[in-house]
C-alpha cells in the first residue's frame, strides 16, 4: 500500500511521515498530481495560514485534484479546515468538500479561554470506524485558533469555548483538527484505523 502525504508550504509535515513510518506504512511526501492520484491513501496535513496554503494548492492545481479523489483521504489540522467551504482566516474560499464554515474562536472572556487552543483535549460523541477502539477518554493534541463548525459530517466533537467538529467524514473524505502524529497512542490508533479502512 502506498500512502501519499501532500506536500505544501505549511508547517511540520515531516512528522506525519515519521508517524506513518513508525506504523510500518510506506509513505511519500509529494505534490505531484499523478503520484497523489495513484496512491492508495492520501493524507493532507499541515499547519499554517489558510489563504497562503490555498494559494499554494491553486498554483500546483491541487485545488482541482483533491475534491475529485476517490481513495480514502485524511485532512489533518489545517488540512481539515481547507476541506471546508470557507474560512474566516484571511476570508478564504476553500475546497468545499464539506459545506461547512471555519470560524475563529471568540471567547466572551479572554481569561477563561486562551487562543490558540493549545494542548491535550478529549474527543466526545465518537462515531466512525476511524475511531474504533477509542472512547471519550481519548485525548488528542491541538494547536489551532480556527475551528470547523458542528455539522451532520461531525464524527467526534471537542469542547473548547464551544463544541466543534473534532473529526468529520463524508464519502471517502475524513478530517481531523488535532494532530494524530503528535497525539501519542490515541493518534497512532487513528492513523492505524485510517490505513485499515
**Binding to another protein, residues 118-147 (CB under 8 A):** 118-122, 137, 139, 141-144
Quote the least distance from Cβ 179 to another protein, whole Å. Answer: 8
Q: Using the rule CB under 8 A, is 86 a contact of another protein?
A: no
Give ∠ CA 69-74-78 in degrees, rounded to 5. Answer: 110
77 belongs to the catalytic site? yes
Q: Quick one: which of 3, 27, 42, 48 contacts another protein (CB under 8 A)?
A: 48
Q: Using the rule CB under 8 A, is 106 a contact of another protein?
A: no
Q: Quick one: which of 41, 60, 103, 179 contacts another protein (CB under 8 A)?
A: 179
Q: Using the rule CB under 8 A, is 21 a contact of another protein?
A: yes
Q: Residue 140: CB partners within 8 Å, gap ≥ 6?
A: 120, 121, 122, 123, 158, 166, 176, 178, 179, 180, 183, 186, 187, 190
Between CA 100 and CA 55 the distance in angstroms is 20
Burial of 147 from C-beta contacts in 10 A (0-12 / 13-18 / 19+): buried
Q: Quick one: which of 30, 37, 47, 151 contacts another protein (CB under 8 A)?
A: 47
Give the C-alpha distances (Å, rounded to integers) separating 184 from 10, 19, 138, 153. 22, 10, 10, 25
Q: Quick one: which of 3, 5, 8, 11 contacts another protein (CB under 8 A)?
A: 11
Residues with a catalytic annotation lie at 77, 179, 181
Interacting residues toward another protein by CB under 8 A: 11-12, 14-15, 18-19, 21-22, 47-49, 110-111, 114-122, 137, 139, 141-144, 159-160, 179, 181-185, 187-188
Amino acid at each position: 500500500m502506498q500512502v501519499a502525504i501532500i506536500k505544501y508550504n505549511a508547517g511540520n509535515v515531516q512528522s506525519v511521515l515519521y508517524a506513518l513510518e513508525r506504523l510500518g506504512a510506506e509513505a511519500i511526501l509529494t505534490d505531484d498530481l499523478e503520484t497523489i492520484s495513484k496512491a492508495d491513501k492520501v493524507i493532507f496535513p499541515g499547519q499554517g495560514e489558510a489563504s497562503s496554503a490555498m494559494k499554494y494548492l491553486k498554483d500546483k492545481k491541487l485545488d482541482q485534484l483533491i475534491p475529485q479523489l476517490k481513495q480514502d483521504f485524511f485532512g489533518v489540522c489545517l488540512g481539515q479546515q481547507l476541506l471546508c467551504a470557507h474560512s474566516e482566516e484571511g476570508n478564504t474560499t476553500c475546497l468545499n468538500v464539506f459545506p461547512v464554515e471555519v470560524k475563529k474562536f471568540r471567547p466572551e472572556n479572554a481569561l477563561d479561554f486562551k487562543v490558540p487552543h493549545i494542548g491535550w483535549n478529549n474527543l466526545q460523541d465518537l462515531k466512525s470506524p476511524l475511531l474504533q477502539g477509542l472512547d471519550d477518554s481519548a485525548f488528542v493534541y491541538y494547536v489551532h485558533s480556527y475551528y470547523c463548525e458542528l455539522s451532520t459530517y461531525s464524527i467526534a466533537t471537542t469542547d473548547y469555548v464551544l463544541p466543534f467538529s473534532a473529526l468529520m467524514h463524508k464519502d471517502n473524505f475524513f478530517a481531523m483538527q488535532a494532530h494524530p502524529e503528535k497525539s501519542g497512542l490515541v493518534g497512532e490508533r487513528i492513523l492505524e484505523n485510517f490505513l485499515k479502512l
